[in-house]
Chains A and B, each alone.
Chain A
Amino acid sequence: MPRREDLQTIMVIGSGPIVIGQACEFDYSGTQACKALKALGYRVVLINSNPATIMTDPEVADATYVEPLSVRFAEQVIAREKPDAVLPTVGGQTGLNLAMALAEQGVLERYGVELIGAKPEAIEVGEDRAKFKEAMEDIGYSCPRAGTAETLQEAEEILKDVGLPAIIRPSYTLGGTGGGVAYNLEEFRTIVAHGLDLSPTRQVLVEESVLGWKEFELEVMRDLADNVIIICSIENFDPMGIHTGDSITVAPAQTLTDVEYQRLRDMSLRIIRRVGVETGGSNIQFAINPKDGEVRIIEMNPRVSRSSALASKATGFPIAKIAAQLAVGLRLDEISNDITQVTPASFEPTLDYVVVKVPRWNFEKFPEAKRNLGTSMKSVGEVMGIGRTFSEALLKAISSLEGGYPSATDFTDSQLAAALSIASPDRMAAVFECLRRGVDPSEVQRSTGIDRWFLGELAEIVAVEQQLQGRFLDGVSDEELRRAKQTGIPDAHLALILNCTEADVVERRKAGGIEPTFKRVDTCAAEFESFTPYLYSTYEEEDEAGESDSDRVIILGNGPNRIGQGLEFDYACCHAAFTVRKAGLTAVMLNNNPETVSTDYDTSDKLYFEPISKEHVQAVIDREQPLGVILQFGGQTPLKLSHRIGPVLGTSPDAIDICEDRDRFNELAQRLGIRQPEGALATTVEEAREAAGRIGFPLLVRPSYVLGGRAMRICYSSQEFESALGEALEASEGNPLLLDRYLEGAVEYDVDALCDGEDVYIAGIMEHVEEAGIHSGDSTAVLPAVLLSEENRKEMVEATTKMALALGVIGVVNLQFAIHDDVPYVFEVNPRASRTVPFVSKATGVPVASLATRLVLGEKLADMEQELKNKGAGYYFVKAPVFPWARFPGSDVVLGPEMRSTGEVMGVGRSFGEAYAKSQIAAGLNFPEDGGVFLSIRDRDKTELEDIARSLHSLGYKLWATTGTHAALEEMNIPSQHVFKVNEGRPNIVDQIKNGAIKLMINTPSGKKGLLDELAMRLAGLRYGTPCITTMSGGRAAISAIESLRSGDVEVVKLQELQ
């Protein structure tokens, strides 16, 4: 069947902000889908609230709407664009849910829009666990026994059948949010109650446990002619009970015989047919009892998923792209395999390497939450290692995590035993440590459920290590060294165990001719020639990197997503690659994050899927002999290498050093006459006290050399200072403490600028809604600035210009300012692309990352006049963060100097209120139309109370307030109802939240950590979906948003319309 001719316009739904369980894999899949549909000649309409995506770049789709993914806004887009069809399967769970809502609410029917890829009936069978189970039984397959409960009593009834331990899963939540494993009745009741609260349908599934069974996933594709193929099999290193998103996973499956594998394959084929997914990709999860091979089906996702992105990168088979082509009627055998060019896509990829995915967690940001892993996903990112063996792939993945070699030497035996039996991010290190201490693999198998085969491979790694441990480098034979490298042990670790430097190891290796070779990922195990240099390193004979026709430029990516360094940086790296390509040079991408667009072999001319470490980057440099390496787009990860590799293109390593070195930076700022908050460095308690006395309070205390505001504290008094001191000194591990005057109530600004060494262009000045002190990544920001005076604007522009020129920035630079008492101060300078680059690019239409790349390649700003024109004039753009609170039960929702948001959305409007309203709706906050608003404001903020309270009152909300706030309101003659705090009596604020009397909370925390009743109240809000605003400026912005929503003229904006 050729492409469908009856369709002209197709709407693609994106997945919205990055959240745990739904990350940039959907930018990858959505971008592929849009490009594929466009290439087939369709007009593509896109809706996605996430501005940091490649897919929302104006050239990817024909009509792009960065708008909230809700029925209201999607309907507006449909009304304007009149799509013939909607493709719901490339935008994750969010895309699927929105499409279902559009179907259920009759929107699709009203506008005559067809769902392609998956029909509502199929989506329902795939997504509704009860229906899915029924369907499976229908075809003779079994799922774990289970029942759906709407009350605790019903749940306990089901428990009688399934028994303990039991798995509890709230219906319709993403990535297992709120679910868990109950080992006793008490736990059971807690989890069920919590789960009922979290489920939008107030249902939980209570399920028989198959903890400890082996977990597998198959990626399946089907076309309209009913051809079905398996793209990839994935085996979980961690057994059932640890979410696949939190598991180390391996492709292809390693411990299945052909009989067992074919059984899963046959089942997958029947399942996709029974569920009725007509075209596209699906993911099916299986559990297998290691004792007798019994199989249970866990779930199916009738759409492309995190695993399908991984499978695409693991095999070279672009699942999302092909899914889009299938959705419009093409058959698998009509599509050709990009890599071989001569064979069709109707085949099953075969791997002659092993791929290992390892998750990246950020538990340190949520100290109140437990570090345990379970059925609810907690990781924020992942890396993939490719090697010719499992051990090589695993160790490369671990290197890609940037967290050092797995080791737990300081654990006692009993600590080790605990770390083995309770899954946590430390488990891998604990397993290695046990094997090093000679614990029998079968014992490790018993306490972890990890398959013997994997442990056998780990034991081999340990054997290789131990053979070298403590010897002299000179005494190690070439053979032994080669073996260690083939096993995947990094040079840095060899240096450690051989007691020499990494440079010594490298020298010794080269002397022995032990150097990496590069192999291709080609879908076919070399059976056919490959035309796409998608490469990984290994220590073998033959090298396939191939030669290029033009000079090479290497772009270093940003590695795994983590809080503070995510999709925004991948966005910039992709643009760097596109631009290098356009310049007629060979773009060489080096990255290891399988979720991303940057690791699509289509993005660059050559892709090296490698750890971003000195060793691996150097190997690629040696092989490619590039013009240079571009570091400035991958966040901190490549910057850390700036002194160890070269040549660096763009801003010099020395300039980077100045920005990182406090003393050098202070000196420069002083020389340039740029104001900084008064500050000091201190290494001892005495020094710190002395500095505190000099600077005064409030005071910002933080360790140096940490990222994303780690362990940063604001102290208002010497008591608070004393208590913060110990913790901060400890966290800084011998590095000096940074003490700064805390600019209270200051308005913070982010400035992104381009510089070619002679001229500076200010790309954007973003104003934070929340005051300084709340991490810039966690702040809501607006462009253009609303409060900024012309004078201060000039001063910031001037400071930015001077700074960029003085540093000799070539490319992009980011400065953070705060205006305190009408005076601008600079906080820091980042000589690299910032998190806000994609937002600025979307808001102004100026392709910042791409222009920065051209500057790096030697072009001048003077020649770019046309491209530097701001196309966003007349609109406001608001960027709002999204937080993972629900994933980390127990953590407070209060914002502070430590960044904790995982992603962002953008709202665009003719007024600030409209843009802000959209941004908040997109971030999941729903402003109530009426009902109660609760106010509990700390004393410091009471001066600002009147404005807010009066506005809310005149908007018709009923005000509730705690004692102090209530008294203040009485004085202002604003009516409010008093309500108890948690410890004061009943009914208290939490009761009122539960009763639904309170629809919105504005609570500015009194600052001290110990105020449990405040915490309880905010957590209740979180649990019952009552939004909680924790800053006064946020409160004010909310009011302008509500006013704008009431006025009714909230309209969707097409990015391509901006001029």
Chain B
Amino acid sequence: MGGILLLQDGRSFSGESFGANATSVGEVVFNTSMTGYQEVLTDPSYCEQIVTMTVPHVGNYGVNDEDVESSKPQVAAFIARSFSRTYSNFRAEDGLDRYLRRSGIPGLHCIDTRALVRHIRDKGAMKAVVSTDGTPLATLQQMLLDWPGMEGRDLAHVVSTPEPYVFSEGEPSQKQVHVLDGGVKQNILRLFASTGAGVKVFPANTPAELLKDGADLVFLSNGPGDPAALPSMVGEVKKLVGQVPLVGICLGHQLLGLALGADTFKLRFGHRGGNHPVRDLDTGRVEITSQNHGFCVDAAGIEKAGGRVTHINLNDQTLEGFVHEDLGLMAVQFHPEAAPGPRDSQHLLLERFLAFAETNRKET
């Protein structure tokens, strides 16, 4: 079966389809990780995005029940140079094709993904539609016009848990971590829980009071969409600042930045992959990080608010992390939980965040 990718600027790519016969609109982005397509697919931060893997082959090792970052694939559509029907891995439970089909997600392959990546690199991430069900071109064009795009989009509330839940009771002697879920990746929760901490997850619209209650640490999760479109969340975060130790990853990093009064801006084509060098300014070390973000916090705003830059991206010098010791908050833009990607920074989740909670403990 044939399929097509149509971009907002009129460029199109025709190839072969896999996954569901469907039509799906979103922002087309690319990810340079060479492994971990299942983690990528299930990462809620990719909500309403059409993800292109730069690695040529996908499907090679099938899918399993363990390597998931949420309960289901989240991407709008999935693109690679070549989808392999044969899969091989001792943990594989099914093939990628059926996995996507079950979730109604179209896949497109046999296209020049490198040309697509170069196009995105030069023109920026843009609106696009993938169709594998023969929808007429005119309809696709209309869909592109109708789709609002990423900027100004509040998607955190779409992917967040509807109800609070306890991920892990934790050991009584250990910290209680309250997670504000804007699309949290499971591995963040798993890593917190592995330290013995109690982990409780709250919906994105949870008021500050509730979040703070009984927490040693409030964690602001990663998630999709435009942070600037989340004024209510930022408002609640502001109420927490200084009240309870606060840490964040990715979207959480952006929310904390906004709460300090810094601006966020959209990167031309984002950072998505598993090979980004980030310098930890405290230790001087370079960590290879997993990244997935299209928006970025302006470092100047952080410094103006009395915060201190702790991490920078060595590829483009953008802000990757900061701390505000007086106010007891710290955050990183990249993904220390990895999954997929290198685990150089997992120590943040396993140690540093919790230690930070300890040193910034609020007597109440």
Residues on A lying within 8 angstroms of B by beta carbon are 225-227, 229, 233, 252-259, 261-262, 265-266, 290-293, 331-333, 342-344, 346-354, 388-390, 441, 451-453, 455-457, 459, 486, 519, 524-529, 540-542, 544
How far is B55's CA from A354's CA once the two chains are assembled, in angstroms? 9
Identify 27 residue pairs between A and B in the complex whose beta-carbon atoms are under 8 Å apart, listed by A's number: A227-B286, A255-B61, A256-B61, A257-B35, A258-B35, A261-B35, A262-B343, A265-B343, A331-B286, A333-B277, A333-B314, A342-B316, A346-B288, A350-B34, A350-B54, A351-B55, A354-B57, A389-B57, A389-B81, A453-B60, A456-B88, A457-B84, A486-B110, A525-B54, A527-B117, A541-B115, A542-B114
A319 to B: closest C-beta gap in Å: 16
Given A388-B81, A441-B86, 15 other A-B residues pairs in contact with their CB atoms under 8 A: A257-B36, A257-B38, A257-B67, A346-B286, A347-B275, A348-B288, A350-B55, A388-B56, A388-B114, A389-B56, A389-B82, A452-B87, A457-B84, A486-B110, A527-B273
Task: Give the residues in chain B near A259, CB-CB below 8 Å.
Answer: 66-67
A533 to B339 Cα, complex, angstroms = 33
Interface of A is mostly: loop
Given the interface pairs A225-B285, A266-B343, the reply to whether A453 lies near B86 with Cβ below 8 Å is yes
How long is the Cα–Cα vector from A167 to B193 in the complex, in angstroms?
43
**Which A residues are in CB contact (< 8 Å) with B314?**
333, 343-344, 346-347
Q: Across the interface, do B275 and A350 meet the contact criterion of CB distance under 8 Å?
A: yes
Q: Does any Cβ of A come within 8 Å of B136's Cβ?
A: no
Q: What A residues does B36 contact at CB under 8 A? A: 257-258, 261
Check B285–A527 contact: CB distance below 8 A. Answer: no
Q: B66 contacts which chain A residues (CB < 8 A)?
A: 259
Contact B55 A252 (CB under 8 A): yes
Q: Which residues of B contact A455 (CB under 8 A)?
A: 86
Q: Is B10 an interface residue (CB 8 A)?
A: no
CA distance A459 to B81 in the complex (A): 18
Residues of A within 8 A of B338 (CB): 262
| B279 near A453: Cβ-Cβ < 8 Å | no
Given contacts A227-B285, A347-B275, A457-B86, contact A526 B121 (CB under 8 A): yes
Knowing A257-B61, A259-B67, A541-B112, the reply to whether A352 touches B56 (Cβ < 8 A) is yes
Nearest chain A CB to B186 CB, angstrom units: 13
Tell me the bound Cα distance from A673 to B110 in angstroms: 64
* Cα A347 to Cα B275 with chains together (Å): 6
CA–CA, A293 and B61, complex, Å: 13
Q: How far is the CB of A579 from chain B (nearest CB, A)?
A: 33
Known A-B contacts A346-B314, A542-B115; the reply to A453 vs B56 at CB < 8 A is no
CA distance A941 to B172 in the complex (A): 94
Contact B114 A459 (CB under 8 A): no
| The residue from B88, B115, B276, B286 contacting A255, defined by CB atoms under 8 A apart | B88
Provide the residues of chain B in CB contact with A233, threshold 8 Å: 34
Residue of A whose beta carbon sits closest to that of B34:
A252
- Determine how close the nearest CB of chain A comes to the CB of B250; give it in whole angstroms: 18
A-B pairs, 4 with minimum CB distance? A456-B86, A258-B36, A525-B54, A542-B115
Asked if residues A255 and B339 are in contact (CB atoms below 8 Å), the reply is: no
Cβ–Cβ < 8 Å partners of B275 in chain A = 347-350, 524
Expressed in whole angstroms, the Cα–Cα distance for A390 and B82 within the complex equals 10
Of all chain A residues, the one with the shortest Cβ separation from B338 is: A262
Among the listed B32, B55, B112, B342, which residue makes an inter-chain contact with A524, where contact means beta carbons less than 8 Å apart? B32
**Which chain A residues border B57 with CB–CB below 8 Å?**
254, 354, 389-390
Residue of A226, A291, A350 with highest tally of chain B CB at under 10 A: A350
- The verdict on A453 contacting B87 (CB below 8 Å), with A348-B274, A349-B275 known, is yes
Contact check, B55 vs A352: say whether CB atoms are below 8 A apart: yes
In the assembly, what is the distance between CA of A209 and CA of B274, in Å? 35
- Closest A residue to B118 by beta carbon equals A526
Closest chain B CB from A940 CB (angstroms): 62
Docked Cα-Cα span, A332 to B84, in Å, equals: 36
Residues on A with beta carbons closer than 8 Å to the beta carbon of B88 = 255, 451-453, 456
Q: CA of A388 to CA of B308 in the docked complex: distance in angstroms?
A: 44
Q: A343 to chain B: which residues have CB within 8 Å?
A: 277, 314-315
B160 within 8 Å of A by Cβ?
no
How many whole Å from B162's CB to the nearest CB in chain A?
A: 29
Q: From the candidates B38, B54, B341, name the one contacting A526 in the complex (CB within 8 A).
A: B54
Q: How would you classify the secondary structure of chain B's contact residues: helix, strand, loop or mixed?
A: loop
Question: CB-nearest residue of chain A relative to B110?
Answer: A486
- Report A-chain residues with C-beta under 8 Å of the C-beta of B288: 229, 346-348
Name B67-96 residues within 8 Å CB distance of A: 67, 81-82, 84-91
CB contacts (< 8 Å) of B38 on chain A: these are 257-258
Within 8 A of A (CB), among B330-348: 338-343
Residues on A with C-beta less than 8 A from B276 are 347
> In the complex, which of the residues B36, B114, B118 has the most CB atoms of chain A within 10 Å of its own CB atom?
B114
The answer to whether A256 touches B35 (Cβ under 8 A) is yes
Question: In the complex, A440→B56 CA distance in Å?
Answer: 26
What residues of B have a CB within 8 angstroms of the CB of A351 in the complex? Answer: 34, 55
The minimal Cβ–Cβ distance linking A958 to chain B, given in whole angstroms, is 65
Contact check, A257 vs B89: say whether CB atoms are below 8 A apart.
Answer: yes
Residues of B contacting A344 in the complex (Cβ-Cβ under 8 angstroms): 277, 314-315
Which of B113, B115, B279, B340 gathers most chain A CB within 10 Å? B115
| Complex CA distance for A441 and B112, rounded to whole angstroms | 29
Q: A346-B314, A350-B54 are in contact. Are A255 and B60 (CB under 8 A)?
A: yes
A453 to B58, CA, bound (A): 11
A266 to B288, CA, bound (A): 12
B67 in contact with A540 (CB, 8 Å): no
How many angstroms from the CA of A906 to the CA of B88 in the assembled complex?
51
Over the window 306-322 of chain B, the binary record of Cβ atoms lying under 8 Å from chain A Cβ atoms (1 yes, 0 no) is 00000000111000000
* Binary contact readout B109-134 vs A (1 if CB under 8 angstroms, 0 otherwise): 01011110110010000000000000
B91 near A226 (CB under 8 angstroms)?
Answer: no
B181 interfacial contact with A, CB 8 Å: no
Bound complex: CA A261 to CA B86 (Å): 19
Contacts of B342 on A, CB cut-off 8 Å? 262, 265, 348
Bound form: Cα–Cα A350–B53 in Å = 11
Complex CA gap A687/B309 in Å reads: 89
Contact A258 B341 (CB under 8 A): yes
Whether B216 is near chain A, meaning CB under 8 Å from some CB there, is no
* Nearest chain B CB to A234 CB, angstrom units: 12
Q: How far is the CA of A259 from the CA of B67 in the complex (A)?
A: 8
- A352 adjacent to B114 (CB under 8 Å): yes
Complex Cα distance A353/B338, Å?
23
Q: How distant is B305 from chain A, measured CB to nearest CB, in Å?
A: 28
How distant is the Cα of A90 from the Cα of B16 in the complex, in angstroms? Answer: 46
Nearest-neighbour CB distance to chain A for B110, whole angstroms, equals 8
Nearest-neighbor residue (CB-CB) of A527 within chain B: B32
Q: Given A293, A342, A352, A441, which contacts B117 in the complex, CB threshold below 8 Å? A: A352
Query: Which residues of chain B from 1 to 44 have any CB-CB distance to chain A below 8 Å in the complex?
Result: 13, 30, 32-36, 38-39
Nearest chain B CB to A294 CB, angstrom units: 10
Q: Is the CB–CB distance between B86 and A459 below 8 Å?
A: yes
CB distance from B59 to the nearest CB of A (A): 9
A540's contact among B34, B54, B86, B112, by CB below 8 Å, is which? B112
Q: Which residues of B contact A388 (CB under 8 A)?
A: 56, 81-82, 114
CA–CA, A295 to B118, complex, Å?
A: 38
Instruction: Mark each residue of chain B from 232 to 244: 1 if its CB lies under 8 Å from any CB of chain A, else 0.
Output: 0000000000000
Bound complex: CA A265 to CA B36 (Å): 14
Residues of B within 8 A of A527 (CB): 30, 32, 54, 117, 121, 273
Task: Tell me whether B33 and A293 are in contact (CB under 8 A).
Answer: no
What chain A residues lie within 8 Å of B82 (beta carbons)?
A: 388-389
Q: Which residues of A contact B274 (CB under 8 A)?
A: 348, 350
Query: Taking CB as reference atom, which chain B residue is nearest A349?
Result: B275
Interface residue from B32, B85, B90 paired with A525 (Cβ < 8 Å): B32
Which residues of B sit under 8 angstroms from A529, Cβ to Cβ?
A: 121
> Nearest Cβ distance between residue B342 and chain A, in whole angstroms?
6
Are the CB atoms of A519 and B114 closer together than 8 Å? yes
Nearest chain A CB to B220 CB, angstrom units: 25
A543 nearest CB neighbor, chain B only: B115
Across the two chains, which residue of chain B brings its CB closest to A259? B67
CA–CA, A331 to B314, complex, Å? 13
- In angstroms, Cα B117 to Cα A541, docked, is 13
